């Protein structure tokens, strides 16, 4: 089923949240969603943009397969005109999330797609070749992807989450795996899902989720 839906009875099951001092009208132009494609920054008129925004679910998920495709656009915005394009898939976000919430991240960034980030108190270890690799606990900590599978044009992301564990795929290749997700010393097994935009045009499409019993 679609991760983002807009029901006539209940309205959208997602929110758009923007960091910084953007007006409500500007925030509503950061994302546009037509039921098939989520476009980020295509209607943005200024040369500079606020520090990030997310399209985030109103429902929390624990065990699922999330699949979508993404493609970079042409324009970039100040202050990152000379930087590589950057975005991300955030999962296990807390209730009341904002545009850069505590979460685990599947990074979507030119040349770094599939890197893991532990963000603002959420933490996990990496599982590689049957061995658990510990990651230093910091506000932001990173574990790089195992192989670069990104290509020009459309790329396919698959995130398989099973409670406190997850597998990262890019273009059908396993490139990262996490285990032992925690927050505040407690097991982190569920949360909201968000797709980011940061200072550059980006399209997400075919955003599908399948909940799985385990």
- Please state, in angstroms and rounded to a whole number, the distance separating the CA atoms of residues 76 and 47: 8
Q: What pLDDT is stored for residue 20 in this prediction? A: 67
Q: Which CATH number fits domain 6-211: 3.20.20.210, 2.60.40.10, 3.40.50.720, 2.60.120.560?
A: 2.60.120.560
Q: What pLDDT is stored for residue 191 in this prediction? A: 96
What single string gives the DSSP state of each residue in 41-103?
STT--SSB--S-EEEEESS-BSEEEEEEEEEEEEEE-BT-TTS--EEEEEEEEPTT--SS-SE
The reported pTM is 0.94
Q: What pLDDT is stored for residue 103 in this prediction? A: 95
Reference 41, options 75, 85, 12; nearest CA is: 75
The helix or strand, by DSSP H or E, that contains position 30, with its residue range, turns out to be helix 24-30
DSSP letter (8 states) at residue 28: H
pLDDT profile of the chain (214 residues), mean per 10? 88 84 73 93 89 90 99 95 95 81 94 93 91 80 88 98 98 96 94 94 98 90
């Amino acid at each position: 089923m679609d991760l983002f839906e807009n029901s006539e009875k209940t309205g959208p099951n997602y929110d758009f949240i923007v960091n910084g001092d953007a007006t409500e009208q500007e925030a509503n132009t950061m994302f546009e969603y037509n039921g098939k494609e989520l476009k980020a920054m295509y209607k943005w008129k200024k040369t500079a943009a606020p520090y990030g925004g997310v399209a985030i679910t109103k429902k929390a998920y624990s065990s699922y397969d999330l699949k979508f495709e993404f493609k970079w656009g042409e324009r970039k915005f100040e202050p990152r005109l000379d930087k590589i394009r950057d975005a991300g898939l955030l999962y296990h976000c807390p209730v009341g999330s904002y545009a850069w919430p505590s979460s685990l991240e599947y990074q979507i960034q030119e040349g770094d797609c599939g890197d893991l980030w532990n963000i603002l108190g959420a933490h996990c270890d990496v599982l590689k070749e049957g061995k658990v690799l510990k990651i230093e606990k910091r506000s932001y900590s990173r574990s790089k992807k195992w192989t670069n599978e990104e290509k020009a044009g459309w790329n396919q992301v698959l995130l398989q989450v099973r409670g406190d564990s997850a597998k990262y795929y890019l273009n059908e290749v396993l490139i990262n795996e996490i285990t032992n997700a925690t927050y505040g010393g407690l097991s982190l097994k569920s949360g909201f899902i968000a797709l980011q935009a940061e200072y550059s045009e980006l399209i997400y499409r075919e955003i599908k989720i399948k909940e799985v019993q385990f």
